[in-house]
Amino acid sequence: MTKTSWQKLGEYLHETQLLGSIYNTLYWDQNTSMPSGAATWRGEQISLLAKSLHARQCSAEFVDLIQGARQELETEIVPPTNLNNEKLKNLELLELESNRQKRLDSKLVVQLAKAQTDGYALWQRAKATNSFKQFAPALKRLIHLRQEQAKQLNESRSIWETLAQPYEPDLTIQRLNELFQPLRDRLPEMIFQARDSMSRQPFTWDFKETSQKKLCNLLLSEWGRDEKITCLARSPHPFSITLGPQDFRLTTRIVAGQPFSCFLATAHEWGHSLYEQGLPLQNHHWFAWPLGQATSMGVHESQSLFWENRVARSQAFSDRFWKNFVKEGAPFRSGLDCWRAMNPLSPGLNRVEADELSYGLHILIRTDLEIALLQEDLDVLDLPSEWNARYEKLLGVMPMNDSEGCLQDVHWSEGSFGYFPSYLLGHLISAQLSESMSSWLASQGVQSEDPIGECIKEGKELKLLSWLRSKVHHYGRKVNAEQLVQEVTGQALTSHPFLNYLETKLNILTSTF
Amino acid sequence: MTKTSWQKLGEYLHETQLLGSIYNTLYWDQNTSMPSGAATWRGEQISLLAKSLHARQCSAEFVDLIQGARQELETEIVPPTNLNNEKLKNLELLELESNRQKRLDSKLVVQLAKAQTDGYALWQRAKATNSFKQFAPALKRLIHLRQEQAKQLNESRSIWETLAQPYEPDLTIQRLNELFQPLRDRLPEMIFQARDSMSRQPFTWDFKETSQKKLCNLLLSEWGRDEKITCLARSPHPFSITLGPQDFRLTTRIVAGQPFSCFLATAHEWGHSLYEQGLPLQNHHWFAWPLGQATSMGVHESQSLFWENRVARSQAFSDRFWKNFVKEGAPFRSGLDCWRAMNPLSPGLNRVEADELSYGLHILIRTDLEIALLQEDLDVLDLPSEWNARYEKLLGVMPMNDSEGCLQDVHWSEGSFGYFPSYLLGHLISAQLSESMSSWLASQGVQSEDPIGECIKEGKELKLLSWLRSKVHHYGRKVNAEQLVQEVTGQALTSHPFLNYLETKLNILTSTF
């Protein structure tokens, strides 16, 4: 029997997925097991695979297969079934990506790859020596090349918007401003309120390494971890990665002096992993197709933030779980002690370590600045002073040097512009989805002002997961982030649920002091 | 500047090596981190890489590159320098392998791959159910296909010899008989002597997991481990693997009730790794070329056995190290207690768990039987009874069932014939090299009847390593195993040093009871 074009395209995608997952395995190993001296050789292995992946994604064969599948689908008498609509959506996404690739000059691709490597190396040195000037020429070059890239892509979008598409499909600056303006208005006062009424952490203690490990494993086993398809390891920076349809890996790290860092990173990465586990992957007709993939970084982040902030940092979770912490040495006398320890609200200079209240402001500053750099003629050399002025104004803190300031994040050094807003969109999406989840739980008979908290208190987090599975995860790329929120909640995305959530939490938390 | 054929060949080999080391990374991950449910997808990843590696090794491009390099080398005015001789040796080995590949019918290659997969699956089932009959048809098929393979290879060697070449280049059955006959004659009496005078282990205790880990790390750090290029992990079966010119991995395992299993497996695998670390690898002109590879499995095994048996199981090592074991809970009152506990001499049915005295007999039985199966018409169905009869005669023990008997090893289930003798050759080579090492140490002023033991007692194992580095490791495939022994020791390989070593050890050990 001869294969249909559709089948051939599927086989092509399957092999690309195999190669991609081998690439991911090298990345996983590099961050969890590889000795440092092996870096050069690993770099060569990774380049080889990247080259071959890139070649597959740009090949004439691939373009032909997509066209063949399109023709086949259009000449068939196609009833508009669900399956056929999904087929069309898959093709549309493949064509979109293929057209993007085609429009790019291969010379530019090579120049960008080199500028990214150089940028990363220079950024590392500049950060170590507190010298933004060392990094400035590389950043200028990256901005220039990315502007050029946007020009070649020639979309009916601004430069920044064009570059943000791979992370957040269909996002516009106008929409972002609508979504973020209420945060810009409201967050600084809330931070002020928190600072005014919350004291610093009363406890200083730390967990032993074996305790950290035990607590993380306990958490994951309560949250339904299947050891047959998951693996938890340690790495310098926590991450979550999928290596196959039944192979989900996550990492955490231990930070001395920050007893909850490891535990909360595990909760966060587990949220990412659960989303991937819930995608239409294994034994599904869309595995290795676009519809089997995560729809946006914002949605991804909404899932990790849900499990980290909405669940693990909730009062209900502390009330249930605090004795486990005490067994491993935490000096809590009550769930409340634990809850306060897990929720320090104090604005700082560092995005990664920021609390839920101030996190958004870190993102607003970065988003404004990268839009200014890419399409509003902000001079690279003015970046440090602009950065510092905004921190002082919005957060009331001022970096002592550029390493604490505009050099703190890796993103720009690799030429990634347009990524930062996804972090904050994740907070918004998580909050709005949580409201729908609460209504659903209430309709299922969970009697409480806070039905999510009620489930957590009873150790029934799997009920929350099953809602996410059936309502959120399964879409893959069938809808974009905003469409997903509209589908699930029946409302357009706004920042109100997030602000309401923060206000409620802040009020209860500050009233306990 | 245009590249020479030689350079192009080098680049081709380099890329093959990159792919091969990616393949090895997947294997490493599979055995150290991968969750069990991921096995199917990993199998697909591995097949994809294996296919592409095989294609590179058989490609017309590769054959042309080798021929081009040969012509280039021959038309140059070549003085017989060391470098040029090495170039010629590299080409010779590449041509040898390429010619082997060319002679094989691709249909047979596919049939063999399938028979190996089937054989392994059937063997697992047969072993679990103690039913050799379930496995017999698969074994018959494998023997038939391997006989066919030897026929196609058409070397001036017997079938078994042809199949043994990849493990032990230039080995003949006649030579093997010469080497092994003294063992056949002498080992049974020695076992009898040991059984007569040695009691069973007086101690029963076990180390905790954390203690096992601590002891292994202590051992490796005393033995000069460089953490920048090595990684130790756990896996179901211990192994050592090289993932790059600066990336050496080894694994060990913990066996409940066998307190030294983990420690000695670490010593053993570290020996393998040291050999690989000492090969002309990184920044060397023969990296990725044949001369940068291990010359034979026997030589490889000689290096692991040296560190396991000659060093870690020596009386001197126990005398120095026993207090570390006591700190972790071992009930020793002296180094002698420790030495006896690390050297139980008692013949059993299992090769992997065999002591130094009886190990050789396990190999003799397997070697005889696989030669009989492949070229002396031994019927597969008679294998169990032949196996059992030989065990009773040589070792004085009799399997209760085939799982303890002829089904215990994986090798034949994957169609690997000709591998077993390498284990025993490793013992012989290790012993003969040790004699030369001793003479050299004596000539360097180490005053003792047992200069190796003297170094160990003083914690100067790195002195032993530096001798192995400068005398043994650097050859790569420039010489075969027997040539290596001749070069290093000035004598042809014999079994006398091994028998002498065993007799001395046995006499001292039994006199302590």
**pLDDT, tens digit, for every residue of A71-119?**
998 887 667 777 788 889 999 999 999 999 889 998 998 899 889 988 9
Query: What is the rounded CA–CA span in Å between residue B390 and residue B408?
Result: 15
- The residues in B 244-303 lying below 8 A from A, measured between CB atoms, are 244-249
Min Cα distance B45 → chain A (Å) is: 6
Q: Given pLDDT bands bounded at 50, 70 and 90, which one contains residue A15?
A: very high
A172 in reach of chain B (CB within 8 A): no
Which residues are CB-neighbours of B78 under 8 A, at least 6 positions away? B84
Q: Given pLDDT bands bounded at 50, 70 and 90, which one contains residue B284?
A: low
Query: What is the rounded CA–CA span in Å between residue A327 and residue A215?
Result: 10
Min Cα distance B284 → chain A (Å) is: 14
Residue to mutate among B34, B51, B229, with most A CBs inside 10 A, is: B34
Q: Which of A92-96, A189-193, A495-499, B481-485 bottoms out in mean pLDDT, i.e. has the lowest?
A: A189-193
**Cβ of A38 and B246 within 8 Å?**
yes
Residues of A in contact with B284 (CB under 8 A): none
pLDDT tens track for B197-245: 665 566 789 999 999 999 999 999 999 999 999 999 999 889 999 999 9
**Cβ of A34 and B227 within 8 Å?**
no
pLDDT tens track for B307-342: 999 999 999 999 999 999 999 999 999 999 999 999
Query: What is the rounded CA–CA span in Å between residue B387 and residue B400?
Result: 12
Q: Cα Rg for chain B, rounded, in angstroms?
A: 23
With contact defined as beta carbons under 8 Å apart, do A234 and A252 qualify?
A: yes
- Residue in A37, A245, A248 nearest the CB of B229: A37
Query: What is the rounded CA–CA span in Å between residue B182 and residue B494?
Result: 9
% of chain A beyond a pLDDT of 90:
83
Query: What is the rounded CA–CA span in Å between residue B460 and residue B465?
Result: 9
Q: Is the pLDDT of residue A287 over 80?
A: no
Min Cα distance A226 → chain B (Å) is: 9
| Chain A, nearest residue to B30 by Cα | A25
Which position has the token pair 């599979």? B30
Strand-pairing partners, residue B240, are B250
Residues of B in contact with A20 (CB under 8 A): none
Query: What is the rounded CA–CA span in Å between residue A336 and residue B150?
Result: 75
Residues of A in contact with B249 (CB under 8 A): 33
With contact defined as beta carbons under 8 Å apart, do A187 and A234 qualify?
A: no
Token readout for B508 is 């001292």
Residue A252, φ and ψ in degrees, nearest 5: -140, 180
**Cβ of B21 and A41 within 8 Å?**
yes
**Cβ of A231 and B33 within 8 Å?**
yes
Measured in residues, chain B has a length of 513
- Residue in A15, A25, A248 nearest the CB of B25: A25
Which residues are CB-neighbours of B160 under 8 A, at least 6 positions away? B173, B370, B371, B374, B375, B417, B418
Q: Given pLDDT bands bounded at 50, 70 and 90, which one contains residue B82?
A: confident
Q: Which of A269-283, A427-441, B141-155 bottoms out in mean pLDDT, i.e. has the lowest?
A: A269-283
Token readout for B366 is 């397997």
| Chain B, nearest residue to A282 by Cα | B41
* Residue type at A384 in one-letter notation: P
Question: What does the pLDDT read at residue A193?
Answer: 86
pLDDT tens track for A245-265: 999 999 999 999 999 999 999
Question: What does the pLDDT read at residue A281?
Answer: 62
Which position has the token pair 């179901």? B236
Question: What does the pLDDT read at residue A117?
Answer: 86
Annotate B302-329 with three-state secondary structure: HHHHHHHHHHHCCHHHHHHHHHHHHHCC
Min Cα distance A218 → chain B (Å) is: 18
**Cβ of A41 and B244 within 8 Å?**
yes
Residues of A in contact with B26 (CB under 8 A): 22, 25
Query: What is the rounded CA–CA span in Å between residue B430 and residue B432?
Result: 6
**Cβ of B229 and A22 within 8 Å?**
no
Beta-strand pair B230-234/A240-244: unpaired
A:B CB pairs within 8 Å: 106
| Residue/partner pairs of A289-293 with CB below 8 Å, 24 or more apart | A289/A10, A289/A13, A289/A90, A290/A89, A290/A90, A290/A93, A290/A94, A290/A97, A290/A476, A290/A477, A291/A86, A291/A89, A291/A90, A291/A93, A291/A476, A291/A477, A291/A478, A292/A476, A293/A476, A293/A477
Token readout for B271 is 């020996």
For A53, the 3-state DSSP assignment is helix
**Cβ of A26 and B21 within 8 Å?**
no
Query: What is the rounded CA–CA span in Å between residue A38 and residue A26?
Result: 12
Burial status of residue B357 (CB atoms within 10 A of its CB: 0-12, 13-18, 19 or more): buried
- Residue in A38, A229, A230 nearest the CB of B243: A38
Question: What does the pLDDT read at residue B200?
Answer: 57
Which DSSP letter does residue A393 get? Answer: H
Query: What is the rounded CA–CA span in Å between residue B501 and residue B503?
Result: 6
Q: Which of A313-327, A414-428, B68-82, B293-307 bottoms out in mean pLDDT, i.e. has the lowest?
A: B68-82
Query: What is the rounded CA–CA span in Å between residue B55 and residue B252?
Result: 34
Query: What is the rounded CA–CA span in Å between residue A136 and residue B200?
Result: 73
Q: Which of A68-72, A354-358, A508-512, B146-150 bottoms out in mean pLDDT, i.e. has the lowest?
A: A508-512
Question: What does the pLDDT read at residue B281?
Answer: 62
Which DSSP letter does residue A408 get? Answer: S
- Residue in A41, A48, A228 nearest the CB of B15: A48
| Chain B, nearest residue to A30 by Cα | B25
The CA distances from residue B32 to B120, B243, B252, B500, in Å, are: 21, 14, 10, 39
Residues of B in contact with A33 (CB under 8 A): 28, 32-33, 231, 233, 249
Query: What is the rounded CA–CA span in Å between residue B16 and residue B23?
Result: 11
Min Cα distance A210 → chain B (Å) is: 10
A46 in reach of chain B (CB within 8 A): no
- Among B481, B175, B195, which Cα is nearest to B357's? B195
Residue A78, φ and ψ in degrees, nearest 5: -105, 110
Question: What does the pLDDT read at residue A76?
Answer: 75
A178 in reach of chain B (CB within 8 A): no
- Residue in B19, B37, B41 nearest the CB of A228: B37
A67 in reach of chain B (CB within 8 A): no
Query: What is the rounded CA–CA span in Å between residue B265 and residue B345?
Result: 18
Beta-strand pair B247-252/B240-244: antiparallel
Residues of B in contact with A246 (CB under 8 A): 35, 37-38, 40-41
**Cβ of A48 and B249 within 8 Å?**
no
What is the rounded average pLDDT for all residues in chain A? 93
**Cβ of B35 and A233 within 8 Å?**
no
B55 in reach of chain A (CB within 8 A): no
Question: What does the pLDDT read at residue A75?
Answer: 83
B230 in reach of chain A (CB within 8 A): yes
Burial B299-334 (b: 16+ CB within 10 A, else e): bbbbbbbbbbbbbbbbbbbbbbbbebbeeeebebee
With contact defined as beta carbons under 8 Å apart, do A135 and A122 qualify?
A: yes
Residues of A in contact with B248 (CB under 8 A): 35
Residues of A in contact with B37 (CB under 8 A): 226, 228-229, 246-247
* ipTM of this complex: 0.92
Min Cα distance A117 → chain B (Å) is: 21
Residues of B in contact with A15 (CB under 8 A): 48
B243 in reach of chain A (CB within 8 A): yes
- Residue in B22, B40, B229 nearest the CB of A26: B22
Query: What is the rounded CA–CA span in Å between residue A286 and residue A90?
Result: 9
